[in-house]
Chain A
Amino acid sequence: MGFPILSAIVLLPILAGVVLLFLPPKNHKLIYSFALAIALVTFLLSIVVYVGFDATGETFQFVEKYDWLPQLGISYHVGVDGIAAPLVLLTGVVIFTGVIISQRIDDRPREFFAFLFLLASGVFGVFVALDLFALFFFYEIAVFPMYLLIAIWGWKQSREYAAMKLTLYLFIGSVIALVGVLAMYFNSGLNTFDFLALQNANFSPEFQKLWFPFVFFGFAVLGGIFPFHNWSPVGHVAAPTAVSMFHAGVLMKLGAFAALRVGIMLMPEGAQFHMWWILLLTLVNVVYGAFIAMTQTDFKFMIGYSSVSHMGLVAMGLATLNHDGLVGASIQMVSHGVMTALFFAVVGMIYDQAHTRQIPELGGMMKIMPFAGIAFIIGGLVSMGMPGFSGFVAEFPIFMGVWRDTPWIAIVAAISIAVTAAYILRAVGKVFFGELPAALEGHMHDIKISEKLALGILCVIMIAIGIFPGVIVPMVEHGVEAVLALVGGA
């Protein structure tokens, strides 16, 4: 075992958060520089994990294991598989770009970055945890700081409501999942929370059928699954830009990821028993989310609902329980994460200057901030699933997987692609190519170099995956093989 890189990734942000709290509160420049440096190091570490992952090697790599509370079979056990490694990279990207564009935070920035880093640690922890207790521990660490981040730094009109709604939804979900996890722990009789050991627990079919929905939905609430998606757009809108990026880009993936890890992988028979109706729910997510997005005039709400729709695709891919669907879902988590982070970043940049997010009140941004405009269009193409961009690499297998399972669902879900194209193009047309309203004349200026850098990084990832799917597909397939070995699907 070499350098404990996963522990470094998990612990670095949280320790940096503690250090931040002791920096002088008034020295914003120092605070920002420190946060940026830590975010950069975290990003680099996550690249090392991604590049270092061997898509032909062991299922779980970079494994570390230490006793935590051996009497109850709790250990600090971490490692990444082919599904988690890209998500670690995603988190690294979003934390780095998120910090870059948070330069304008001037109300208590030290607390802001401290909470943001705490959140990042929790997210990394969930992606790498191979012990259910540890997973849970990090899961709640990842959920809670959202409350403060939204309530304190969010959009004044709705932040308190949105923050409370989000927190209560997510906690109800997580505590219900917790009871499920405890039931698994005692039912297995193995006296361990270790993920790898519980894979072989052979839970009885009755047990799986009973408990699978608790665990799956408990986590999937965070993935925005219908009908528990309502907190998500409201939360996105109220959150400050970096937090929206984190929230939609990474946090929602936690829900889907944990539902896969704990729900599907540990209770495969339960999954097979329940998946037909979960598939229907995800169909509602996908289509309904797209239509609601279409009707929004608030730029941020539009993207919020588009996230519901796209995360629906992730859940739909998972629900197929077959190779194509799972591969597509795993790639979609990354693709959507990057894309939505970019969307929120651009919307934030526009809002900061225009002080409105109403699409009809905006226009002409292409001339003012061409770089942001191009980046948004690239994101839009990803969102529509255009070939040559990561969205295609992700969504195509999902639809193939669904087709294999239930063709009519694939056909209905495909409506969402047309609807997505409609609302994205409409927004692009009005906001970027429409006429600059008189009210905004003279107020607007181009974005900073650092912001261009952030958007550039996000765009490069989406294009790279689109043109060279080989950078991610073998890795994800490697992870999916292991899932299929448990689920026994085609």
Chain B
Amino acid sequence: MFGTITPDMILAILPEISLLVVLAIVFIVDLVLPETRRGILAVLTGVGLIATFVLTLLFANPGNSAELVWGGMLRHDMLAYVAKLLFIFAAFITVLLSVKLEDVWLKGEYYLLVLTSTIGMTLMAASADLVMLFLAIETTSIPLYILAGFMTGDNKSTEAGFKYLLFGAMTTAVMLYGFSLLFGFAGTSNLYAMADAISAGAVPGPVLVGTLVLVLLGLGFKVAIVPMHFWAPDVYEGAPTPITAFLSTASKAAGFMVLVRVMLASFPNILADWQLMLGILAVASMFIGNVVALTQKNLKRLLAYSGIAHAGYALLGVVAASELGVASVMYYLLVYVVTNMASFGVVIIVSRIVGSDEIEDFAGLSRRSPMLALVLLLAFLSLAGIPPLGGFIAKVLVFAAAVEAGFVWLAVVGVLASIIGLYYYLIVLKEVYLGQPKSEEPVPVVRAHGVAIVASVLLVLILGVIIAPGYNWAIAAAASLF
């Protein structure tokens, strides 16, 4: 079916192969490991992810070339390359943050599910065909449904798993329906061939816009934008926190990769339509996400709503539909992933000790553990878009992309929404720095958690000060789509 297998084709799926090997090793070791030494599983997974990261970084770089491989199923390009590295990094931090998490971290299947989901994400970023895309999305989602409900003894976690499954299955079905319509009219399932068929007029206008809505419904669910956001707060709150972190960063980013690719590859014909549609969704997400976040008492829920708002900002870059626009989305996601990992890291560390993730229980953290407070400060300021942190650069880039593409009004709305965001980030920081702690004891930090948050926060700073390397990646990824 694929003809001869060339080295390029292997390199295109090198990350997936490597992840699969790690998965197999963890699976086998899990079978033979005695009950008392299961901590090794986390180490194995972590090391495997680092190895995969390095392998991918060194060998899977497609450079300036972009080609369809494996019979047009995948596209080996910079966008996929950068995104894959991001997902692997996120999975690695997730594994680090899972260490010592009761009921979770000693179970082999936990790591298997995380790895499987990561494979799904890496495929999502590269998919160039509806069939492949659908499979990749399902490979990503199904393990995440299980992971969200992984703490079977905990009602909230079980509820989160179910809710995520039900909404996920429903929106996926709707999206699949959209895919089938597209395939039926265009006569091809390849995203890139489809653009030609569409511009040749194979799909009647109203049907095209209709299918677009169906597809957006499914992808909007993955990236959690308004109005497909309602699942996020409940699922984020109930899921084990490392999984919440994974969901809100890597899974969201994977959704964006698909969104960017599908929109630009398959729907250039109705550019103005989907720009308007996504522009409205972006505004709604920024405002609803930020405004509802104002009232939250639980830090995980607050981060869920903030994540909805951030999806809105990133969407501005998609709306711009330019090279700068896609680069800004990419940069935004890089920053957002590392920043949120740092935030959730602190949540995990603190809630492990105080036994809750209500904002009031973070009161006075600065007196207990100044360094943890500092990490949270940096992460939240980055989310609020304040220099010298990554979030500032990311915001400037998406607003710049919007202005460049003539959407000045979107940029204005965006900056105003970001003021609302600033307010609730400050409310949390106020608790952290001004509140009276219930105890003066320093919060002990598991070493793996410490590594995770320090690595994340350093990246936040690097992305905020030394902008060029990250931007070069982002712009190369963007260029591969045009």
Contact surface of A with B, Cβ cutoff 8 Å: 21, 25, 67-72, 74, 108, 111, 133, 136-138, 140-141, 144, 147-148, 151-152, 160, 164, 167-168, 171-172, 175-176, 178-179, 182-183, 185-186
Q: Given contacts A168-B422, A171-B422, A179-B399, are A69 and B471 in contact (CB under 8 A)?
A: yes
15 more contacts with CB within 8 A, not counting A69-B471, A141-B387, A160-B434, are A21-B370, A25-B370, A68-B468, A108-B367, A140-B386, A141-B386, A167-B422, A168-B419, A168-B423, A175-B416, A178-B396, A178-B399, A179-B399, A182-B396, A185-B400
A160 to chain B: which residues have CB within 8 Å?
430, 434
A182 and B386 within 8 A (CB): no
Q: Given contacts A69-B467, A74-B467, A160-B434, are A178 and B374 in contact (CB under 8 A)?
A: no
B426 and A167 within 8 A (CB): yes
- A169 CB, nearest partner CB in chain B, Å: 10
User: Could you say which of B412, B426, B434, B475 contacts A179, with CB atoms under 8 Å apart?
Assistant: B412
A21 to chain B: which residues have CB within 8 Å?
370, 374
- A204 CB, nearest partner CB in chain B, Å: 16
* Chain-A contact segment, one of B93-101, B115-123, B353-361, B403-411: B403-411
B388 within 8 Å of A by Cβ?
Answer: yes
Q: Given contacts A152-B434, A164-B426, A168-B422, are A144 and B396 in contact (CB under 8 A)?
A: no
B290 within 8 Å of A by Cβ?
Answer: no
B399 and A137 within 8 A (CB): no
B211 within 8 Å of A by Cβ?
Answer: no
In the complex, the chain A residue whose C-beta lies closest to that of B386 is A144
What are 9 sample pairs from A and B whose C-beta atoms fall under 8 A apart?
A133-B396, A140-B392, A141-B386, A147-B426, A151-B430, A164-B423, A175-B418, A176-B412, A182-B396
- A403 CB, nearest partner CB in chain B, Å: 39
Interface string of B440-482 (1 = CB under 8 A from A): 0000000000000000000000000001100110010000000
B472 to chain A: which residues have CB within 8 Å?
71
- A163 CB, nearest partner CB in chain B, Å: 8
- B117 CB, nearest partner CB in chain A, Å: 34
B423 to chain A: which residues have CB within 8 Å?
164, 168
Interface residues of B in 271-327 (CB under 8 A from A): none
B400 and A137 within 8 A (CB): no
- B336 CB, nearest partner CB in chain A, Å: 19
- B388 CB, nearest partner CB in chain A, Å: 6
B171 within 8 Å of A by Cβ?
Answer: no
B400 to chain A: which residues have CB within 8 Å?
72, 182, 185-186
B52 within 8 Å of A by Cβ?
Answer: no
B392 and A137 within 8 A (CB): yes
B381 within 8 Å of A by Cβ?
Answer: yes
In the complex, the chain B residue whose C-beta lies closest to that of A160 is B430
B181 within 8 Å of A by Cβ?
Answer: no
B415 within 8 Å of A by Cβ?
Answer: yes
In the complex, the chain A residue whose C-beta lies closest to that of B422 is A171
B433 within 8 Å of A by Cβ?
Answer: yes
Give Cα distance in the complex from A176 to B400, angstroms. Answer: 13
In the complex, the chain B residue whose C-beta lies closest to that of A185 is B400
**Pairs of residues from A and B, 9 with the lowest C-beta to C-beta distance, nearest first:** A175-B415, A182-B403, A137-B387, A69-B467, A140-B387, A144-B386, A186-B404, A182-B400, A152-B433
B366 within 8 Å of A by Cβ?
Answer: yes
Chain B contact residues: helix, strand, loop or mixed: helix
Give Cα distance in the complex from A108 to B475, angstroms. Answer: 43
B404 to chain A: which residues have CB within 8 Å?
186
B366 and A111 within 8 A (CB): yes
- B184 CB, nearest partner CB in chain A, Å: 42
A68 to chain B: which residues have CB within 8 Å?
467-468
B367 to chain A: which residues have CB within 8 Å?
108
- B464 CB, nearest partner CB in chain A, Å: 9
Give Cα distance in the complex from A12 to B415, angstroms. Answer: 31
- B229 CB, nearest partner CB in chain A, Å: 24
Q: Given contacts A141-B387, A168-B422, are A182 and B411 in contact (CB under 8 A)?
A: yes
Give Cα distance in the complex from A69 to B408, angstroms. Answer: 23
Give Cα distance in the complex from A167 to B430, angstroms. Answer: 13
A176 and B370 within 8 A (CB): no
A152 to chain B: which residues have CB within 8 Å?
433-434
- B7 CB, nearest partner CB in chain A, Å: 31
Give Cα distance in the complex from A148 to B387, angstroms. Answer: 15
B426 and A69 within 8 A (CB): no
A72 to chain B: which residues have CB within 8 Å?
400, 471
Give Cα distance in the complex from A164 to B294, angstroms. Answer: 14
B403 and A183 within 8 A (CB): yes
B433 and A148 within 8 A (CB): yes
- A240 CB, nearest partner CB in chain B, Å: 14
A178 and B415 within 8 A (CB): yes
A186 and B468 within 8 A (CB): no
- B76 CB, nearest partner CB in chain A, Å: 24
A171 and B403 within 8 A (CB): no
B471 and A108 within 8 A (CB): no
Give Cα distance in the complex from A108 to B387, angstroms. Answer: 23
In the complex, the chain A residue whose C-beta lies closest to that of B399 is A182
A176 and B386 within 8 A (CB): no
- B260 CB, nearest partner CB in chain A, Å: 19
- B452 CB, nearest partner CB in chain A, Å: 20
A137 to chain B: which residues have CB within 8 Å?
387-388, 392
Give Cα distance in the complex from A179 to B401, angstroms. Answer: 11
B370 to chain A: which residues have CB within 8 Å?
21, 25, 108, 111
A176 to chain B: which residues have CB within 8 Å?
412, 415
B422 to chain A: which residues have CB within 8 Å?
167-168, 171
Interface residues of B in 376-410 (CB under 8 A from A): 381, 386-388, 392, 396, 399-400, 403-404, 408
A148 to chain B: which residues have CB within 8 Å?
429, 433
B387 to chain A: which residues have CB within 8 Å?
136-138, 140-141
A182 to chain B: which residues have CB within 8 Å?
396, 399-400, 403, 411
Give Cα distance in the complex from A136 to B400, angstroms. Answer: 14
- B474 CB, nearest partner CB in chain A, Å: 10
In the complex, the chain B residue whose C-beta lies closest to that of A148 is B433
A111 to chain B: which residues have CB within 8 Å?
366, 370
Give Cα distance in the complex from A178 to B429, angstroms. Answer: 25
B468 and A151 within 8 A (CB): no
Q: Given contacts A141-B388, A160-B434, are A175 and B419 in contact (CB under 8 A)?
A: yes
- A318 CB, nearest partner CB in chain B, Å: 25
Give Cα distance in the complex from A167 to B408, angstroms. Answer: 24
- A224 CB, nearest partner CB in chain B, Å: 19
Q: Given contacts A25-B370, A160-B434, are A179 and B403 in contact (CB under 8 A)?
A: yes
A171 and B419 within 8 A (CB): yes
- A26 CB, nearest partner CB in chain B, Å: 12
A71 and B392 within 8 A (CB): no
Give Cα distance in the complex from A111 to B381, angstroms. Answer: 16
Give Cα distance in the complex from A365 to B423, angstroms. Answer: 42
Give Cα distance in the complex from A179 to B417, angstroms. Answer: 13
Give Cα distance in the complex from A185 to B408, angstroms. Answer: 13
A151 and B399 within 8 A (CB): no
Central interface residue in B416, B418, B419, B423, by most chain A CB within 10 Å? B419
In the complex, the chain B residue whose C-beta lies closest to that of A107 is B367
- A446 CB, nearest partner CB in chain B, Å: 34
Give Cα distance in the complex from A147 to B381, angstroms. Answer: 12
- A77 CB, nearest partner CB in chain B, Å: 15
- B313 CB, nearest partner CB in chain A, Å: 12
